Structure 1
Amino acid sequence: MNYDFRIMRIKASVIGHRSSVVFSVFCILCSLFSFGQVKSSIDSTSITIGEQITYKVEVETDTTNMVVFPEGQTFSPLEMIESYRIDTIKNSDKYNLIKKYALTQFDSGAYTIPSQKILVGDKTFFTDSLKVEVNNVVVDTTKQGLYDIKPIIEVKKKGSNWWKYVLITLLIVGVIAFLMYWFIWRQKPLTEEQKIALLPPYDRAKLALKKLDESHYLEQAELKEYYSELTLIIRKYLDEKVYDHSLESTTEELISRLRLLREGNQIDLSQDTIKNIESILRRADLVKFAKSTPDIALAELDRNTIDTEIDHVKEVLPEPTEEEKLLDEKYREELARKKKRRKIMVTTVVGISLLIMSFIGFSLKYGFNYVKDTIIGHDSKELLEGDWITSQYGVPPVTISTPKVLKRTEVSLPDELKQQMSMTLFAYGTLLDEFSVVVNTTLLSQPPKDGIDIEKTIEESLKGLEAQGAKDIITFNNEFATPNGAEGVKTYGTLKFDVLKTGNFVEANYVMLHFISENVIQQIMITYPLDDVYADQIIERILNSIELKPGEA
């Protein structure tokens, strides 16, 4: 974005460093107040580039107080290399706590380690700020050869852990597929009952008689159970081969049907066969319902009679025709198709049920929209969950974390301004994109006597947006402080711009941060979509990552 700074260089006010000066005075007063209880020191005030110094904080406190030392990169512009464990020395009823940090800096210059906040019980203390000078490493060029700067080389992006998620997904799918195969599609070994059911009716009847012989009904004089099994055998056989209502018919109805079939020449049963079956069935009725107790020998004789009559029935049954055999084959094929369709249906229902349950479970845990966007895809979500880049841009540097690396953009200044200012701009996206980030640093060769007016700077930035096609800009201003204490102004709101140059304007959010020092204007501009929870999280993460060196803003 090319912002017009023509008016900025002639408009100024006296706002300057007022807020930062007040903050510095406050830190000094706090340091003086806490001098007797909290002390800080460094082992050297002058180092070379990359050399480490030890920053030490000593706290004297009661044994009952909890002490919280600073953690993280709170020593900027110096970088913390290592945080050592706390040393504890007991002195009568007090503790002397000593915390050490290893710090370094890779640029030469004079730096100030900012005051550090120490919590002791329910009180807050600040350490003294300390001066450190970082010197260049002296190189004897007469003995050490000089080499050209090596060209920029492309570094392959570090691989993510996507293969782990793929492996876990394949493992889960494999387990589910194995379970479906094992319980639904696998040809299970036939049980004894299934094997018997596959036998022809004649063989099943013979096998049932054999099992009846192996029972102990007659030995235990259980005639009722014996005759129940015996009559069930002959009824089942007749039901499958002669009359398909033999099982539910009474003795009288069954015998009448057999005689009708004989008289109608549908089956050539002899009178003796019908009479013998009738006699045994009626005797069984007496045993079951009238509690008759025939002799054991008679029961065995009845068993042999049934065995013989089954043979007689089989002999008189007509042989199945080719058409009947073909119908039986088609019937078996239809049964096989029905069984396969049933397996497919069960597999489909189980699969859909698992997907629905997984979707519901993940929705309850992570939220419906998050799961939906994960499956369908969402541009802002992909930016939020991608590999972020933390880098420094411009001079003096602005440290910021972004979803994509910001690329340097050449800025063309009018000839009359080139001697008065220099500008560096790094950007991802443009104002016409759904999401964009711009870091702009302007160095003035000769700042105004009364300092740079930040309000005028913000006004000129908004005019620059309008010059690029933005309209209906709604503006709110708040004070803003970076995590490392640099203070600036946050301007935010909504604006409209024509993305496709068709006259249809799209509304979006924007955030501008301005940091002013004596001769430096640092600006961060972000645009992002409305009503996008992922974009809101992206902006929050970016804003929380911004760091400027103390004294530069």
Structure 2
Amino acid sequence: MKLKKIFFLLLFFICVNAFSQLLSSNLEKKTLALGETDHLVIKIENLRSRAVITAPKDELLPFHFEEIKDSIGINANTYERRIEFAVYEEGTFKIPELEFKVGEKLLKTIPYEIEVVNTATKEDQINDIMKNKEVDLEAIDYWELYKWYVFTALAVIALIFVIVMFVKYGKKKKSSPVVTTNQTLKELDSLKKKKYIEEGNYRAFYVELIDISRKFITKQYRIPADVLLTDDLVALMKENNTISQDNEKIVEDVFLRGDLVKFAKTFPDKDLMEKDFTEIRDFVKRSSEDIEFENLRKDV
């Protein structure tokens, strides 16, 4: 009986390994000189023609890692990604767990830590090719050296004067909610024409959609959405009640999803991207109702 149990356990582990995806990663060097190149290789085996979803090319590694080359090789059973990169700052930098979604299964690489050092030393001598020569300068020489600085200073002073006069005496053009709405709708139409949804480029789609939405909220509702974090923005919207609850819910859902996409925590499909685009567009169209209600409330 014991031999049968051992046999069945071995058979179970063999079947699991035969039908599961195997992810491996390899970092060539863990200590680098400034600007020296390194290579990270990630490989997934036993795909069985399943798609691999992860960060787009040249966007897999964190900020400090300058990606020089990002090549991806895919066939029916294997996914291989080779990244050549360099770091141009001294210090210790981390490559976190990198996520790869195969079907419904989420695979993660092991994290790495890289130390970047400056190989130059204080004892290194820098020799001049020629000895410095002293030259006596006259007034005309100083003018030739600094005349462009003088012209630049005068131009800056003139520009400041023009701005002050324009602010003081110029007519201020009032922007109506309708003008802001129409301008934002044009920007959304331009985003739609880029076909990010059709191509499945969810990262670029949400970055531009949220950027357009933040600028719109800032201008239309006088809320500093362009500088606030998502959580702070949601809290402020609920506090001042300028935006209706339905519109608040749309903004909150889309912005939070956009943050997850930005950090590769979720991978939305085309239907969800289309739904978020439509809801933001409808929110922009309905915004004038929020403004009219806010004006009535102030009058009361």
* Both proteins in one fold, TM over 0.5: no
Q: What is the TM-score normalised by the length of structure 2?
A: 0.40
Q: What is the TM-score normalised by the length of structure 1?
A: 0.24
Which one has a larger percent helix, Structure 1 or Structure 2?
2
